[in-house]
Amino acid sequence: MRKDSSLRDDRQNYRDDLRTFTEAQSPTASHSFAEIYDNLPAIAAMLDERGIILGLSRECSTRFGDVSRFLGRSLVSLAHNDDRDELRNALKAAVGRRNHIEHCEFRIWRGRRDPVPVRMSLRAASTGEGPTMLLGVASDVSDRLMLEEQLLERTTELSDMASQLLAAQDQERRRIAADMHDTIGHQLAVAKFQMDGLRHLELDGQALATVDSAIEQLQQAIDAVRSLTFSLNSTSLHDQGLDAAIEDFGQTLSQNQAFDFSLSSRPRNRRLSQPARITLYRIVRELLINALKHASASHIRVSIGADDNDMHFAVVDDGVGLNQTTLKCSSGTGLRSVEQQLSALDGCIKFENRDSGGTMVRFSVPYSSVGSEV
């Protein structure tokens, strides 16, 4: 009985505080103020500066039933345990920063029922020597959180599908490359060998010139098949990893196109998933080809680094640099593909001119998006 009586006395004191506050605003407006507050079509609470609940809007009764049991309790006590510190900080900030609206999100604890996630706006109000009150208006964000969760699930599904598609494409590329090497490559090699045999026969000058021409064309075809096989499938990427594949491609490209290539790579303590290695290799390969086409560079350097959260790449050349015309000409299917692949990895890319001449293309991808392992 004493406990119930004490609780009634406390609630009466809270009502007196509320009445003192509303009357202090304007004696003639106190009734309308309370009425407007009570009829707010939202979850609204009036608190003292300690965060004790003095009043709740009718909408609270609609959402949570009898709310008289909440009067006189701390708002923090109604929050989920994991959210209480954030709510305490918001209440302190609202009291300490008058005329400033403080926002926070927390879950209203409902026992065995699912908690209600809300976003609350808090503002302190005081009247000179009168008591300091906190006005809080909250909105249910359950639908928003549900949509965010569904969006995250769909994004994860799309990412998984993209990885599966990339793996299937890579497998098909490897199959085609193997078929080309084992069939067309071998057939051309045999044909060249047979044509070489004709040179040992007694042929007149015209016939020998025809044989030499045929041998030269066969060699060109063999080189083309070898190059196409290499572009379809980098054996070093699967056997030795990303750095070796980039080094292999860069050196092969530099020998054919007469420019200097170098790779600098810092040690990393994380491993990349196979789909991520394929994607990153294709991005660097496209940037190298793009630099070769448009930069007129004599030297191209690729650097690979990392920090705790991201991998960082740079493709640097000593060519003519970037201008709007060059960038427009370069923004074809290749660079669009680079941007799309980076977007799928939550990566970003930046093009910039170097003070010493040439272009630097930098891009980064978070480890969280490339299936890394420590």
Q: What is the pLDDT of residue 27?
A: 46
Give per-residue pLDDT as tens, 189-218.
778 777 888 877 777 878 888 888 888 888
pLDDT at position 85 is 93
Residue 337 token pair = 């593909």
Say yes or no to pLDDT of 364 above 90: yes
The second-level CATH assignment, the architecture, of 235-374 is 2-Layer Sandwich (3.30)
Here the tokens at position 265 are 């790579």
d(CA 143, CA 43): 16
275-297 confidence digits (pLDDT tens):
888 889 889 988 988 888 777 78
Domain ranges of the chain: 2-140, 235-374
CATH fold for the domain made of 2-140: Beta-Lactamase (3.30.450)
Per-residue pLDDT at 172 exceeds 50: yes
Comparing 6-20, 31-45, 54-68, 243-257, the range with the smallest average pLDDT is 6-20
Q: What helix, strand, coil percent values describe the chain, rounded to 5?
A: 55, 20, 20
Beta bridge partners of 262: 301
Same topology for domains 2-140 and 235-374, yes or no? Answer: no
What would the pLDDT profile of 220-239 be if each residue is shown by its tens digit? Answer: 887 777 667 666 666 667 76
How far apart CA 284 and CA 363 sit, in angstroms, is 10
* Residue 83 pLDDT: 92
Burial of 168 (0-12, 13-18, 19+ CB in 10 A): exposed
Percent of the chain exceeding pLDDT 90 equals 13
pLDDT interval class at 75 (50, 70, 90): very high
pLDDT of residue 231: 63
Average pLDDT, the chain: 78
Q: What are phi and psi for residue 111, nearest 5 degrees?
A: 65, -125
- Section 333-340 average pLDDT: 77
Query: Taking 80 as the threshold, does the pLDDT of residue 158 lie above it?
Result: no
Of the listed ranges 28-32, 156-160, 247-251, 346-350, the least confidently predicted one is 28-32
Helix residue spans in the chain (DSSP H) = 2-25, 30-38, 58-64, 84-96, 142-179, 186-198, 205-232, 235-239, 242-257, 274-294, 324-330, 333-344
pLDDT at 86: 92
pLDDT of residue 227: 67
Confidence band, pLDDT 50/70/90 cuts, at residue 148: confident
